[in-house]
Amino acid sequence: MPRTPNTRLRGLLEEADWSGAQLAAALRHLAAEHRQQLGCDRSMVSRWLSGTTPRPPVPALLLEVLSRRLRRPVSAVEAGLSRAPSTVFELSWEADPLRRLSALTRAELDPTRRRLLNAGMYSLAALALPEAWQPHTRPSPVSPRATGRAGRAEIEQMQTMTRVLAEAAQAHGPDHVRTALAAYLGHDVSGYLQASATGDQHRRLLSGAAQLTLLLGTMCAGSGADAPAQHYHHTAAQLATEADDTATYAIALRTMSAHAHDLGHHTPAVLHLAERAVTLTRRTSPIIAAYAQAHLAVIQAHHNKHAALTALAAAERLHELADTTPGPFTHYPAGALHYQRAQTLATLGDTAGATGALTASLRLRTPGERHARALTQARLAETLLTQGHLEAALTHWQAFLDTYPTLHSAHATRRLDVMRRLLHPHQRHRATALLLTRAAPLR
């Protein structure tokens, strides 16, 4: 049977003003960004244009490179890829977040589908936030398929689960907690959101679901599963707007921006998310405003020194004024604020200031912040080594290695890899050699 040429993909290629060779180069670059190797050249692009169906991960890569080039989301249908075997979840602000959450958690709990979900592409293009976006609307807060009732007891249960699971992830890393949270969201919480409830109670249930979904996204990011993390963060933002929960919506946008920053992206879209979060916190508590301002300082450090220092000063001032209550969405630890201060100063080239901020952060970390404390120790060791303080750096890396075996975290693994790379030139130093020997069996 003759193949049908993919005229839609050809049209997008013309709109992008790209040749087949340029598209192939962009695909190879994006694959490398996601730590993958892709053998792709002009002849392969020609085959796709003639109607050959690309195999994963090419469909997801194609959509992302075209979206970045055209500065708008490009869907599988628009690119003529709807028949391609792909695990692409559409990141659309118009999609029903409850249906998406259900699909994501089902995939999360199926080992085969979870591997495919984890192998998806993080989309920089999907960070664009529509200025006039309005949440998806339903005819009433109660689903027509509603069974049973949900109210204050279920709301309190969700709040308890949010706190317990967040504490478990902070103590032991996110990997093992992620599956438990996905099961709770997919089974229990999905049922609560379809049950009969008053308008106010339904909004509070949606708000609780948004926070749990945001927490799951952060756990995925901590596990190195960046594509599902982005989908959960996106879904949480939608749920928060449907709940009319400005605070959680602001935290979701801040989290999306922070995730992009952690992956090395500092584009105007990433900055815009951080700025939008700060704008929203004008109607929230000072502690959430401080949380948003601190991250804005981190991002602005890549764009405007004065703006970064202004945002940092605002964060510190708001933190001093704030009254907080325990909880993952109501408390911003002082140690975390100093950590963001260190990130800002390091980007601005103030290494000594960053060292002081990391030292303060480490001093203020509580025993329950085991994961954050280990990451702070690793960052402090890295900063000290750049200043030539090898012995002091080794002390903090020793402490990092003491905790590392109890953590299951991609962030901790990255810091371990950085430690090995930075210490390699010093391997003839006796204490360094002993540390590297101790770290050798760790993964």
Q: What is the pLDDT of residues 236-250, one digit of tens each?
A: 999 999 999 999 999
- Quote the number of domains for the chain: 4
Q: How much is the average pLDDT of 85-97?
A: 63
Say which CATH number the domain at 296 has: 1.25.40
Asked whether residue 273 is domain-assigned, the answer is yes
Q: Does 29 share its domain with 59?
A: yes
Asked whether residue 323 is domain-assigned, the answer is yes
In this predicted structure, what is the pLDDT of residue 422?
A: 97
CA dist., res. 101 & res. 236, Å (int): 9
Highest mean pLDDT among 98-107, 224-233, 303-312: 303-312
Task: State the Cα angle at 335 between 443 and 395, rounded to 5°.
Answer: 50
Tokens describing residue 186? 């997919």
- pLDDT(341) > 90: yes
Q: Does 204 share its domain with 105?
A: yes
Q: Does 117 share its domain with 204?
A: yes
CB contact at 8 A, 421 and 434: no
Q: Does 239 share its domain with 160?
A: yes
CA dist., res. 90 & res. 291, Å (int): 29
End-to-end CA distance of the chain: 50
Q: Does 233 share its domain with 272?
A: no
Name the more confident of 27 and 37. 27
Q: Does 235 share its domain with 318?
A: no
Cβ atoms within 10 Å of 407's Cβ, excluding its own: 22
CA dist., res. 187 & res. 115, Å (int): 20
Domain boundary residue among 70, 86, 114?
70
Q: Report residue 275: phi and psi, to 5°.
A: -65, -40
In this predicted structure, what is the pLDDT of residue 124?
A: 87
Q: How much is the average pLDDT of 333-352?
A: 97
CA dist., res. 348 & res. 354, Å (int): 9
3-state secondary structure the chain: CCCCCCHHHHHHHHHCCCCHHHHHHHHHHHHHHCCCCCCCCHHHHHHHHHCCCCCCCHHHHHHHHHHHHHCCCCCCCCCCCCCCCCCCCCCCCCCCHHHHHHHHHHHHHCHHHHHHHHCCCCCCHHHCCCCCCCCCCCCCCCCCCCCCECCHHHHHHHHHHHHHHHHHHHHHCCHHHHHHHHHHHHHHHHHHHHCECCHHHHHHHHHHHHHHHHHHHHHHHHCCCHHHHHHHHHHHHHHHHHCCCHHHHHHHHHHHHHHHHHCCCCCHHHHHHHHHHHHHHHHCCHHHHHHHHHHHHHHHCCCCHHHHHHHHHHHHHHHHHCCCCCCCCCCCCHHHHHHHHHHHHHHCCCHHHHHHHHHHHHHHCCCCCHHHHHHHHHHHHHHHHHCCCHHHHHHHHHHHHHHHHHCCCHHHHHHHHHHHHHHHHHCCCHHHHHHHHHHCCCC
Domain boundary residue among 304, 336, 364?
364
CB contact at 8 A, 219 and 207: no
In this predicted structure, what is the pLDDT of residue 130?
A: 66
Name the more confident of 435 and 73. 435
What percent of the chain is modeled with pLDDT above 90? 65
Q: Does 50 share its domain with 118?
A: no
In this predicted structure, what is the pLDDT of residue 166?
A: 93
Asked whether residue 127 is domain-assigned, the answer is no
Count of positions (residues) in the chain = 443
CB contact at 8 A, 177 and 220: no
CB contact at 8 A, 222 and 411: yes
pTM: 0.87
CA dist., res. 289 & res. 278, Å (int): 6
Radius of gyration of the chain (CA): 23
Asked whether residue 293 is domain-assigned, the answer is yes
Tokens describing residue 185? 């969201």
Q: Does 155 share its domain with 101?
A: yes
CB contact at 8 A, 23 and 46: no
Q: Does 178 share its domain with 223?
A: yes
- Out of 40-49, 115-124, 144-153, least confident range: 144-153
Q: Does 289 share its domain with 205?
A: no
Going by pLDDT thresholds of 50, 70 and 90, the confidence category of residue 195 is: confident
Q: Does 186 share its domain with 283?
A: no
Q: How much is the average pLDDT of 36-41?
A: 88
Q: Does 62 share its domain with 116?
A: no
Domain boundary residue among 70, 85, 109?
70
Asked whether residue 86 is domain-assigned, the answer is no
CA dist., res. 228 & res. 219, Å (int): 10
- pLDDT(348) > 80: yes
The Cβ-side half-sphere exposure at 17, using a 13 Å CA radius, reads 2
- pLDDT(198) > 50: yes
In this predicted structure, what is the pLDDT of residue 140?
A: 39
Work out the mean pLDDT of the chain and round it to a whole number. 89
In this predicted structure, what is the pLDDT of residue 72?
A: 83
In this predicted structure, what is the pLDDT of residue 91?
A: 64
CA dist., res. 288 & res. 411, Å (int): 24
Q: How much is the average pLDDT of 148-158?
A: 87
In this predicted structure, what is the pLDDT of residue 73?
A: 80
Asked whether residue 271 is domain-assigned, the answer is yes
Residue 171: Cβ-neighbour burial (10 angstroms; 0-12, 13-18, 19+): middle
- pLDDT(117) > 90: no
Asked whether residue 338 is domain-assigned, the answer is yes
Report which of 345, 415, 321, 337 is spatially closest to residue 369, judged by C-alpha positions. Answer: 337
CB contact at 8 A, 269 and 127: yes
Question: Which residues, 6 or more positions from 109, have their beta carbon under 8 angstroms from its beta carbon?
Answer: 179, 182, 183, 186
Asked whether residue 269 is domain-assigned, the answer is yes
What percent of the chain is modeled with pLDDT above 70? 93
- pLDDT(417) > 60: yes
Q: Residue 231 is part of which domain span?
A: 95-122+148-244
